[in-house]
Each structure stands twice: as C-alpha cells, then as structure tokens.
Amino acid sequence: MYVDSHAHLEMEQFNSDREQMIARAREGGIDVLFLGDSITENFATRGKDAWDRDIAPLGTVADFGISGDRTQFVLWRALNGELDGSGARVVVLMIGTNNLASATPENVARGVGAIVDAVRAKLPGATVILNALLPRGAPGDPVRAKTADVNARIARLADGVHVRWLDASAGFVGADGTIPAELMPDELHPSAAGYDVWASALRPVSALIRLDLPTLERPANATSAPVMAGSASTEPAAAAKRQSAANSRRPNSISSAVKSAAATAGRSNLSLAHDPFPKTGTHFSGSCARPSSSRRRL
C-alpha cells in the first residue's frame, strides 16, 4: 500500500499542534486568541518585534495559527476543543487564503461565516476581530480579484458588536498595485516589515481591547472605544440597538452555526456526512471528522 510520507508527517504535525492548543485552551485565562493559518502562526516569530510591541501587552495572548490551514480545518478545530475552556474574550481571525485555489469566493466566505458562528456559539461573550484576507499575487492575477470578492462578502459578517471588521490590505499594496518585496517576499507571507503593517492596522483594535478587557489597564486618556469599520458606535443608544440586534442573530448552538453555512448553499437539511465546503478536500462524518491529509502548508 502506498503511503504519502510527506502528508503523513504533515498530519502528525497538525495533530501535535492541535494537542498543544487544546491543552493551552483548557488552562483558561486567555485574553486574546489569534486563530488562522501560517500568516497567523508566524506573527509571534517572524513578526516578533511587532508582536512584542503591540500584541503581547494586550494581556494573555495565545497564537492558534497552523500552517496550511483552510476554513474547513479551522472550523473543525473550533468545534473540537481548541476554544473549550479558553475563556478568550477576543478572537482575532484571519483565514481563507489557502482556499482560493480550490473554492469559489462564495464558498470561502461561507466557510469563514461558519467559523465566526462557531466561535460565537463556543464563546458567546467574545468579540471576533475579523480580518480581511491580505492581497497576494501580482496586479492582474485572478487571485487578486478573487481575494477582493471574498473580502467584500465576509465584511458583511461584521455586526458592529460581536464581530468587528479589520482590513489591513491597503498597507500591503504600492501605488502601482504591486506588493513590495520587503513586505511580502513571496507575495503571500508577510515579512517582519509586513507584520509591522498588520500590527499598525490592529492598533485601534488594541485600544478597543484594552477598554473591553477588565483585566487590562484602561488607558488614562481614553474615554470611549475608537470607532473602526464595523465597530459599534460610541453613542450608547446606537450601541444598545446594535447589541440587541446582534443578540437576536447569535446562534443558539454549534449545530445551528454549521447548518447556517449549509443553508446558504441551499441545503436546509444538512447531514454532516456531506461536505459543506465543496472542492476543498475535506469531508465531515458524524460530528466533524478529522481533516484529510490533503493539506498544503502555507
């Protein structure tokens, strides 16, 4: 029997990463949890200076990025222990770029939406900072338009209360439309300078986190949370109105979160034996099966 040793090693690494993350989540006490693929995973290492300067001071921060992950893998992780017991009050999510080669923008967006619903169902008191996919490829590359399409779709997931939208993509593109090599040498993964760009875009959110997390010191000169795209208004009545609307939309269970993704595709009666994210290489069985070995580590 043929065994793909490279895929086997990838799955061993994936499972090892997951076990460590589940163990960390069970310890609890997490203020901010980063969830995503290699772009997230490399933030604390390749972007160490930016991480230490802008992210680490936010409190107890956990990086749950796994290289090569796609929406379906992150959904599976969220549903199978990586959020349980974490107590995370802010989840910074960036995921979907690895789906672009094999899924339509609609399906990528549905995958992101299912993850957002799963996070809200697992951590109903948490705020999700939903990040736009970063630009990739050269000007005119079809992946640019596909990325923009996904971003336009997932931006609508922001409700201004539980889900806040953050788009750092403009900082990665020059006036001529190219991605400077010093920011993304391979036009996909940020360099140390690229992580500075992301960290800078996160600074208004960082101020918001400091205000929202009681364990963190409130800035002495701050009187209200900064307004950002997709954020709640600082006017109390408007914020209360958005809060009420958001509560009415919050999924009541994990199963409703997953079913909502299927309903978008016209499958009102979802059997988890079906794949809610077609053409992405992973199928679900029972509750949500372990991802298959068809993973490209990016």
Q: Is 195 helix (H, G, I), strand (E, B) or coil?
A: helix
Q: Report helix, strand and coil shares of the chain as percent, to nearest 5.
A: 45, 10, 45
Catalytic residue among 37, 38, 54, 169: 38
Q: Would you state the pLDDT for residue 7?
A: 64
Q: Would you state the pLDDT for residue 213?
A: 53
When divided into structural domains, the chain yields a total of 1
- Reply yes or no on whether 231 is catalytic: no
Catalytic residue among 186, 224, 256, 294: 186
Report the candidate in 129, 142, 106 with the shortest Cα–Cα distance to residue 36.
Answer: 129
CA distances (Å), origin 153, targets 28, 160, 170, 233: 33, 16, 17, 22
146 part of a folded domain? yes
295 part of a folded domain? no
Q: Would you state the pLDDT for residue 252?
A: 44
DSSP string for residues in 214-246: TTSPPPTT--SPPP-TTPPPSSHHHHHHHHHHH
Instruction: In whole angstroms, give the CA distance from residue 213 to residue 211.
Output: 6
Q: Would you state the pLDDT for residue 8?
A: 59
283 part of a folded domain? no
Mean pLDDT by 10 residues, the chain (298 residues): 58 81 93 96 96 94 95 96 95 97 97 98 96 94 96 95 94 95 93 96 79 43 32 36 43 46 33 30 29 42
10 part of a folded domain? no
Domain range for 212: 27-264
Q: Would you state the pLDDT for residue 187?
A: 82
CATH code for the domain of 191 = 3.40.50.1110
288 part of a folded domain? no
238 part of a folded domain? yes
Neighbouring residues of 68: CB distance < 8 A, sequence distance ≥ 6? 10, 14, 37, 38, 98, 295, 296, 297, 298
270 part of a folded domain? no
- Reply yes or no on whether 102 is catalytic: no
Q: Would you state the pLDDT for residue 211?
A: 61
Instruction: In whole angstroms, give the CA distance from residue 196 to residue 188.
Output: 15
Contacts within 8 Å (CB) and 24+ apart, 200-206: 200/54, 200/168, 200/171, 201/166, 201/167, 201/168, 201/171, 202/54, 202/55, 202/92, 202/129, 202/166, 202/168, 203/54, 204/228, 205/92, 205/129, 205/164, 205/166, 206/54, 206/55, 206/58
20 part of a folded domain? no
Q: Would you state the pLDDT for residue 267?
A: 28
Contact between 112 and 157 (Cβ < 8 Å): yes
Catalytic residue among 189, 191, 196, 206: 189
- Reply yes or no on whether 63 is catalytic: no
